[in-house]
């Protein structure tokens, strides 16, 4: 949504309250309503409710308002009492007020809508539950806290720098909660990150003001898909305990690697997918992992040592692909950050003429945009799975398989 340049000249609407009937869910954790001809994005509501809202962003000239539902006048089926007492104040969760199966339906609706709107695809989407957090709580193995002016660690309010001094984050994994960050005093204005491995029980507390130790003190070990992976505290690893296993299975099912094939693992992190592919293509195959973060590159080299035919390329995917001048690869998996791969990289990838491309996406809008670029270059989606790796939030992970449109 673009910034409104007329904001200064208009009276603020923040704090205004009114009643609305809520319409469909929209990407970003809110539902859409209308008030006096204006679109209102409402948090803490469900589609089909009558609620009183208070405006949190907007002014007289705004095309839309953002608002919070503060009184539920008529509830929709699927509304529950939030299990977290900080719901509504802390910005971390969007769907604490929604029963878990309904959360997954809302996410499926958003994925469906993004695919239709941005990629022109009509697709039936089901969001799958992932083992490890049956009540949707206690799953988050990585939490970054911000320290307020009084030295108390807390979590940010929604779209705000305000620090909410929570007593405990209900979606944090027990290993994170046991780090006792919230009971201690920290340097005002700093941040503290707790990184835990649910698979090995290891934990790191990374604080701004604590002199950081040698590299070995800043890595932990994760176990997934029958292997162990070294992960730097600052490096990427999925935060839900069931995520790595579920995604490796989905990626391998999508690629169906055969002995002797060549594969690219783009945005490869510490080597989770590359290791699984390398095991399947065997000694006669080749896997090239591309990753930009130096710590992750060093972890990937460590984790993939001993697997024949694996190469790790450090650098941005677009630059590495350009430099490699790769003409052919049988398989490509890409797992870009939120913004997606973008047109240039999708063009580079489709030129490789892979038999299968598997796209792992944490933002359905970015996925849909990139699918549209791939379609311009002869690839169509043949399968899609979606996983609830972030219960209580609006986030959803998708794994799309692409094949040549002529197949
Ligand atoms: C969503 S993570 C995926 C990591 C890995 N596939 C996994 O599942 O553990 C995205 C990774 O892409 C890396 N990255 C971000 N932008 C990049 C770029 N332009 N080129 C290469 N790697 C990039 C990040 O450092 C991060 O490790």
Query: Where do the CATH 3.40.50.150 domains begin and end in the chain?
Result: 104-133+237-404
Q: Is the CB of 292 under 6 A from ligand 1?
A: yes
| Ligand 1 mean position, distance from CA 338 (Å) | 10
- To the query of whether residue 362 is one of the catalytic residues in this protein, the response is yes
Q: What is the pLDDT of residue 308?
A: 92
Q: For 103-155, how does the pLDDT look when each residue is reduced to its tens digit (9 = 90+)?
A: 999 999 999 999 999 999 999 999 999 999 999 999 999 999 999 999 999 99
28: left (phi over 0), alpha (psi -120 to 50) or beta: left
Q: Is the CB of 337 under 6 A from ligand 1?
A: yes
Hey, what are 157's tokens?
């309010």
CB 346 within 8 A of CB 352: no
224: left (phi over 0), alpha (psi -120 to 50) or beta: beta
Q: Is the CB of 291 under 6 A from ligand 1?
A: yes
pLDDT beyond 90 at 325: no
Q: Identify the residue whose C-alpha is closest to ligand 1 atom 1.
A: 337
Can you tell me the distance from the alpha carbon of 165 to that of 148, in angstroms, rounded to the nearest whole number?
Answer: 8
pLDDT confidence bin for 40, thresholds 50/70/90: very high
Q: What is the pLDDT of residue 326?
A: 79
Q: Is the CB of 273 under 6 A from ligand 1?
A: yes
Q: Identify the residue whose C-alpha is closest to ligand 1 atom 7.
A: 269
Can you tell me the distance from the alpha carbon of 312 to that of 264, in angstroms, rounded to the nearest whole number?
Answer: 10
Q: CB neighbours (10 Å) of residue 162?
A: 15
**What's the residue count for the chain?**
407
Q: Is the CB of 293 under 6 A from ligand 1?
A: yes
pLDDT confidence bin for 2, thresholds 50/70/90: very low
Question: Residue for token digits 């799953």?
Answer: 139
| 327 or 191, which is more confident | 191
pLDDT beyond 50 at 334: yes
Hey, what are 149's tokens?
């002016």
Q: Identify the residue whose C-alpha is closest to ligand 1 atom 19.
A: 316
Q: Is the CB of 272 under 6 A from ligand 1?
A: yes
If you average pLDDT over every residue of the chain, what do you get?
94
The separation between CA 29 and the C-alpha centre of its own chain, rounded to angstroms, equals 13
Q: Is the CB of 359 under 6 A from ligand 1?
A: no
Relative to the CA of 244, which ligand 1 atom is closest? 8
Can you tell me the distance from the alpha carbon of 305 to that of 302, in angstroms, rounded to the nearest whole number?
Answer: 5
Please report how many Cα atoms fall inside a 13 Å half-sphere around the Cα of residue 75, on the Cβ side: 12
Can you tell me the distance from the alpha carbon of 158 to that of 124, in angstroms, rounded to the nearest whole number?
Answer: 31
User: Which H or E element spans position 302?
Assistant: helix 294-304
| Ligand 1 mean position, distance from CA 74 (Å) | 44
Q: Give the rounded percent of residues in the chain with a pLDDT score beyond 90.
A: 90
Q: What is the pLDDT of residue 129?
A: 98
Question: Environment class of residue 122 by beta-carbon count within 10 Å: exposed (0-12), middle (13-18) or buried (19+)?
Answer: exposed
Q: For 287-314, how does the pLDDT look when each residue is reduced to its tens digit (9 = 90+)?
A: 999 999 999 999 999 999 999 999 999 9
Q: CB neighbours (10 Å) of residue 151?
A: 13
Can you tell me the distance from the alpha carbon of 147 to that of 297, in angstroms, rounded to the nearest whole number?
Answer: 30
| Ligand 1 mean position, distance from CA 292 (Å) | 7
| Ligand 1 mean position, distance from CA 324 (Å) | 18
Strand partners, 232: 219
Q: What is the pLDDT of residue 216?
A: 47
Q: Is the CB of 267 under 6 A from ligand 1?
A: yes
Query: Where do the CATH 2.40.50.140 domains begin and end in the chain?
Result: 7-79
Q: Can you tell me whether residue 270 is helix, strand or coil?
A: coil
Relative to the CA of 317, which ligand 1 atom is closest? 20
Give the pairing of strands 356-361 and 379-388.
unpaired
pLDDT confidence bin for 263, thresholds 50/70/90: very high
Q: CB neighbours (10 Å) of residue 8?
A: 7
pLDDT confidence bin for 209, thresholds 50/70/90: low
Q: What is the pLDDT of residue 67?
A: 97
Q: For 56-89, how does the pLDDT look when each residue is reduced to its tens digit (9 = 90+)?
A: 999 999 999 999 999 999 999 999 999 999 998 9
Query: Which of 227, 229, 267, 333 has most ligand 1 atoms within 8 Å of CB, for mutation?
Result: 267
Can you tell me the distance from the alpha carbon of 374 to that of 332, in angstroms, rounded to the nearest whole number?
Answer: 13
Can you tell me the distance from the alpha carbon of 250 to that of 25, in angstroms, rounded to the nearest whole number?
Answer: 27
Edge-to-edge strand list for the sheet holding 310-314: 127-129, 379-388, 397-404, 356-361, 331-334, 262-266, 286-291, 310-314
| Ligand 1 mean position, distance from CA 269 (Å) | 5
User: Which H or E element spans position 22?
Assistant: strand 17-26
DSSP string, 26-69: ETTTEEEEEETTEEEEEES--TT-EEEEEEEE-BTT-SEEEEEE
pTM above 0.75, yes or no: yes
Q: For 351-389, how does the pLDDT look when each residue is reduced to its tens digit (9 = 90+)?
A: 999 999 999 999 999 999 999 999 999 999 999 999 999
C-alpha distances out from residue 89 to 45, 177, 402, Å: 14, 19, 41
Class of domain 7-79: mainly beta
Q: Which of 159-163, 269-273, 301-305, 390-394 has the lowest mean pLDDT?
A: 159-163
pLDDT beyond 60 at 213: no
| Ligand 1 mean position, distance from CA 203 (Å) | 22
Average pLDDT over every residue of 189-211:
89
Class of domain 104-133+237-404: alpha beta
pLDDT confidence bin for 405, thresholds 50/70/90: confident
pLDDT confidence bin for 407, thresholds 50/70/90: confident
6: left (phi over 0), alpha (psi -120 to 50) or beta: alpha
Relative to the CA of 296, which ligand 1 atom is closest? 27
């Amino acid at each position: 949504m673009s910034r409104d340049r007329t904001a200064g000249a208009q009276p603020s609407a923040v704090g205004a309250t009114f009643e609305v009937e809520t319409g469909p869910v929209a990407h970003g954790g809110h539902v859409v309503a209308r008030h006096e001809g204006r679109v209102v994005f409402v948090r803490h509501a469900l589609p089909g409710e009558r609620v009183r809202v208070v405006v949190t962003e907007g002014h007289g000239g705004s095309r839309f308002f953002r608002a919070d539902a503060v009184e539920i006048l008529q509830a929709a089926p699927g509304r529950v009492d939030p299990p977290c007492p900080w719901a509504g104040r802390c910005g971390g969760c969007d769907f604490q007020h929604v029963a878990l199966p309904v959360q997954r339906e809302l996410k499926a609706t958003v994925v469906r809508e993004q695919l239709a709107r941005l990629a022109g695809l009509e697709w039936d989407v089901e969001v799958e539950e992932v083992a490890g957090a049956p009540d949707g709580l206690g799953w988050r193995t990585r939490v970054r806290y911000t320290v307020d002016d009084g030295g108390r660690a807390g979590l940010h309010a929604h779209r705000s720098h305000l620090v909410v001094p929570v007593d405990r984050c209900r979606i944090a994994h027990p290993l994170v909660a046991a780090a006792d960050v919230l009971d201690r005093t920290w340097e005002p204005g700093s941040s503290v990150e707790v990184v835990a491995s649910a698979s090995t029980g290891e934990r790191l507390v990374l604080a701004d003001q604590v002199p950081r130790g040698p590299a070995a003190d800043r890595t932990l070990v994760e176990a997934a898909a029958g292997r162990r992976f070294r992960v730097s505290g600052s490096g990427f690893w999925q935060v839900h305990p069931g995520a790595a296993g579920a995604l490796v299975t989905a990626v391998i099912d999508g690629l169906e690697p055969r002995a002797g094939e060549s594969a690219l693992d783009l945005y490869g992190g510490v080597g989770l997918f590359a290791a699984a592919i390398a095991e399947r293509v065997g000694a006669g195959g080749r896997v090239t992992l591309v990753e930009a973060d130096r710590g992750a590159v060093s972890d990937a080299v460590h984790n993939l040592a001993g697997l024949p035919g694996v190469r790790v390329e450090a650098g941005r995917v677009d630059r590495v692909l350009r430099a490699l001048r790769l003409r052919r690869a049988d398989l490509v998996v890409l797992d870009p950050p939120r913004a997606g791969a973008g047109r240039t990289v999708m063009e580079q990838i489709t030129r490789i003429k892979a038999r299968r491309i598997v796209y792992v996406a944490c933002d359905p809008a970015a996925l849909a945009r990139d699918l549209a670029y791939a379609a311009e270059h002869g690839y169509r989606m043949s399968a899609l799975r979606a996983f609830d790796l972030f219960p209580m939030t609006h986030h959803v992970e998708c794994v799309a398989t692409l094949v040549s449109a002529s197949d």
